[in-house]
Amino acid sequence: MSIEPPVPATRSAVELIKENSLQLRGGLAEELARDSEKFSDADKQLIKFHGSYQQDNRDARKDRHRDGAGKAFQFMVRCKIPGGKVTASQYLAIDQLAEKYANGTLRITSRQGFQLHGVLKSNLKQTIREINDCLLTTLGACGDVSRNVMAPPAPFASPVYQELQRRADVIAQLFAPRSKAYHDIWLNGVAVSNGAPELVDEPIYGKLYLPRKFKTVFALPEDNSTDLFAQDLGFLAHVENGAIVGYNVYAGGGMGMTHGNTNTFPFIAQAICYIAPDQVVAAAEGVIKLFRDHGNRADRKRARLKYVLHDWGIEKFRDVLQTYLPFPLVLPRDIPVTGFPLSVGWHDQGDGKYFYGISIENGRIKDEGDLRLRTMLRKLIEKFQPNIRLTPMQDILLCDLPKSAKPLINRMLTVYGVAKPERISLVQLHSLACPAVPTCGLALSEAERALPGIIDELEAELAKLGLDRDKIGVRMTGCPNGCVRPYQSDIGIVGRSGDKYTLFVGGNLVGSRLNFVLKDLVPMSEIVPTLLPLLNDYKKNRQGEEGFGDYCHRLGTDRCGAIG
Ligand code: SRM
Ligand code: SF4
């Protein structure tokens, strides 16, 4: 039985669209059949639940405006891939779709998914259908539902790693929307006008789905590569003698904020309770239901779970959560998070096989000039048919390889101009950027296209200072929404407007602490020069093995500001 949440006095427009959508159908089927380049405003919202965003090519805006043409509409299509697990044939199918219907590139996302960009409306249905043909899905990749569930990607033969991957699948499946709209619209082609659609029970979501997106991850103390502290819900495994004996449950993390609106802010997830392994599903259901019933449905800028936790405080959050749990809430244990492995390079899986992690700059798999990354990956995957894992750092792991694959893979990297991880600077390996311009409609500034230049500059300075063996994480976004989790990193660069950025320092590699503003409105060309005095001082005055973010945190805002 669906339980409808209490309806608040005022509701945002999206709430009404969801409610009246006949379980996410709206007019999507009819609009798809129509010869037009875009969807209506209401259906533009609904299409997100099906894994796609209506965008326009922002590079083309000026010329088209001059020529009196409207926007060049196109679609982003996102696959939801629990734990980032992809088979060789699925990879090859997505690679083909990138060529046939998108802009010839694949984008690994910061949540272990794939995105295609530049799909025209006329090709959207076929793209989504072919994604499903290879047994991947886009359902619930976006929209007000439980989003892709992340798990540490390394394919170690260890029961602990395997258990977390299995759990990610279970949670992803349990909290996927049950509506048949997705099948009707994209796979079977049934239009609403063909008769009343079949409505099903949505036991968790009801008619209104969630107030906003909801993100879950699994992590290990020594492997927080899924960035537990940035998530609505996180399960931190407690391991004893090689087995998971429980989990600390974290809730209320999130990154998005709006410049100038102090009512919005990034927030670090808090440890709420400790559970036994067989309580994972009930705990997830409890937190999701709490969010469904108490999340803000009037103001989407304040709708995430983090605001419920912030506004209530942790004690009330625990008390209310208890009413949704079928077991007594036990306080969390002391389980420190200590590691953030990247998994690039060669690794022994522990079952006689190996995996090779390739660092993908900002997740973009493409051929460009001498770099023939996309071709190389296709050839390698065709030859070795490896299982694949996508990482939350936007990298790719080729798994289950025989030892004998090493020489050929090493040779292919050289021939196709792809840098081996050991030849890539540590600062680049630890950097992330979001797509921003030209595809993201919310971008205020460049990110993916700008970060490589900034990293080049930073690498040169770090080498001069002898800091090139330090792990320093840089995360850049084109707007404050924080799609690559910039507010917990050593250095965060957040788009402000055009050429100007807000510069943050003081987070850490494991992401357990928010950073703070070093300087606002920094022109792109001044980003590295602004950081230099601090890096100099860090080199001279750091304590022991202190990381750059820890050093900035120790100094605090005022002293960093005075130096920087
Ligand atoms: Fe994101 C919106 C890209 C992970 C916070 N995000 C968007 C949209 C769809 C723009 C839009 O709404 O029109 C971006 C599409 C750009 C494009 O052209 O592709 C976009 N987000 C991405 C990706 C592709 C960034 C990447 O470099 O990989 C990531 C896709 C992940 C996936 O596979 O599901 C992505 N987004 C994140 C994360 C990181 C995470 O999930 O761990 C965050 C911060 C964590 C969080 O949710 O708080 C994030 N995205 C946002 C927000 C801010 C939400 C908020 O609470 O305020 C928006 C804006 C919104 O939802 O209104 C947003
Ligand atoms: Fe777009 Fe902003 Fe997300 Fe970057 S951080 S992808 S600019 S919404």
pLDDT tens-digit readout, 207-256: 999 999 999 999 999 999 999 999 999 999 999 999 999 999 999 999 99
Cα of 79 to ligand 1 centre, how many Å? 13
Retrieve residue 148's tokens.
């892709």
Q: Which helix (H) or strand (E) holds 413?
A: helix 405-415
CA 298, 486, 216 angle in degrees (round to 5)?
A: 60
User: Given this chain, do its domains 1-11+142-190+202-341 and 427-563 carry the same CATH topology?
Assistant: yes
Q: Identify the band that residue 491 occupies on the pLDDT scale cut at 50, 70 and 90.
A: very high
How much is the pLDDT for 564?
74
Retrieve residue 52's tokens.
């796609």
Classify 216 as helix, strand or coil.
strand
* Contact in structure between 267 and 252 (CB atoms under 8 Å): yes
Name the CA dihedral angle for 421, 423, 427, 432, rounded to a multiple of 10 degrees: -40
How much is the pLDDT for 7?
67
Local structure of residue 445 (DSSP, 8 states): S
Q: Of 385, 468, 483, 372, whose CA–CA distance to 419 is shortest? A: 372
Q: Of 153, 148, 151, whose CA–CA distance to 137 is shortest? A: 148
Amino acid at 129: R
pLDDT digits (tens, 9 = 90+) for 14-53: 999 999 999 999 999 999 999 999 999 999 999 999 999 9
Give the ligand with the smallest distance to the CA of 439: 1
Cα of 231 to ligand 1 centre, how many Å? 12
Q: Closest residue (by CA) to atom 63 of ligand 1?
A: 481
For the residues 308-325, what does the mean pLDDT come to?
A: 98
Name the CA dihedral angle for 140, 142, 144, 147, rounded to a multiple of 10 degrees: 60
Q: Of 396, 416, 414, whose CA–CA distance to 356 is shortest? A: 396
pLDDT digits (tens, 9 = 90+) for 509-532: 999 999 999 999 999 999 999 999
For the residues 424-441, what does the mean pLDDT come to?
A: 98
Amino acid at 24: L
Mean pLDDT across the chain:
96
CATH of 52-138+343-424 among 3.90.480.10, 3.20.190.10, 3.40.1110.10, 3.40.50.10490: 3.90.480.10
Our answer on whether the CB atom of 302 is closer than 6 Å to any ligand 1 atom is: no
Our answer on whether the CB atom of 121 is closer than 6 Å to any ligand 1 atom is: no
For the residues 59-66, what does the mean pLDDT come to?
A: 91
Helix, strand, coil abundance in the chain, percent, nearest 5: 40, 20, 40
Cα of 256 to ligand 2 centre, how many Å? 10
How much is the pLDDT for 8?
72
Our answer on whether the CB atom of 111 is closer than 6 Å to any ligand 1 atom is: yes
- Looking at the predicted structure, is the pLDDT value of residue 201 above 60? yes
How much is the pLDDT for 196?
77
How much is the pLDDT for 198?
87
Please give the Cα distance from 133 to 482 (Å, whole number): 32
For the residues 346-369, what does the mean pLDDT come to?
A: 98
Q: Is residue 556 classed exposed, middle or buried when 0-12, 13-18 and 19+ CB atoms within 10 A define those classes?
A: exposed
Provide the whole-model pTM. Answer: 0.97
237: β partners? 247
- Tokens 């929209």 correspond to what residue? 143
Superfamily of domain 427-563: Sulfite Reductase Hemoprotein, domain 1 (3.30.413.10)
For the residues 129-146, what does the mean pLDDT come to?
A: 97
Q: Which helix (H) or strand (E) holds 271?
A: strand 270-275
pLDDT more than 90, % of the chain: 94
- Tokens 């602990």 correspond to what residue? 160
Residue 72, sorted as left (phi over 0), alpha (psi -120 to 50) or beta, turns out to be beta
1-11+142-190+202-341 adopts what CATH topology? Sulfite Reductase Hemoprotein; domain 1 (3.30.413)
Residue of 44, 119, 390, 483 to mutate, ligand 1, most atoms within 8 A of C-beta: 483
How much is the pLDDT for 4?
62
Cα of 478 to ligand 2 centre, how many Å? 5
How much is the pLDDT for 189?
63
Please give the Cα distance from 267 to 269 (Å, whole number): 6
Our answer on whether the CB atom of 401 is closer than 6 Å to any ligand 2 atom is: no
The residues annotated with a catalytic role in the active site are: 78, 147, 213, 215, 434, 440, 479, 483
Task: List phi, psi (to 5°) of 400.
Answer: 60, 35
Q: Is residue 506 classed exposed, middle or buried when 0-12, 13-18 and 19+ CB atoms within 10 A define those classes?
A: buried
Task: List phi, psi (to 5°) of 357.
Answer: -95, 125
Cα of 479 to ligand 1 centre, how many Å? 10
Question: Which contacts qualify for 377-381: CB closer than 8 Å, 24 or more apart?
Answer: 377/91, 377/95, 378/92, 378/95, 379/412, 380/409, 380/412, 381/88, 381/91, 381/92
Residue of 481, 494, 496 to mutate, ligand 2, most atoms within 8 A of C-beta: 481
Task: Indicate the domain borders of the chain.
Answer: 1-11+142-190+202-341, 52-138+343-424, 427-563
Q: Identify the band that residue 123 occupies on the pLDDT scale cut at 50, 70 and 90.
A: very high
Tell me: cis bond preceding 438? Omega within 30 of 0 counts. yes
Our answer on whether the CB atom of 276 is closer than 6 Å to any ligand 2 atom is: no
Least confident window among 54-68, 302-316, 338-352, 376-390 = 54-68
How much is the pLDDT for 540?
97
Cβ-based neighbour number of residue 512 at 10 Å? 18
Q: Which atom of ligand 2 is nearest to the CA of 495?
A: 7
Give the up-direction half-sphere exposure of residue 376: CA atoms within 13 A in the CB hemisphere.
25
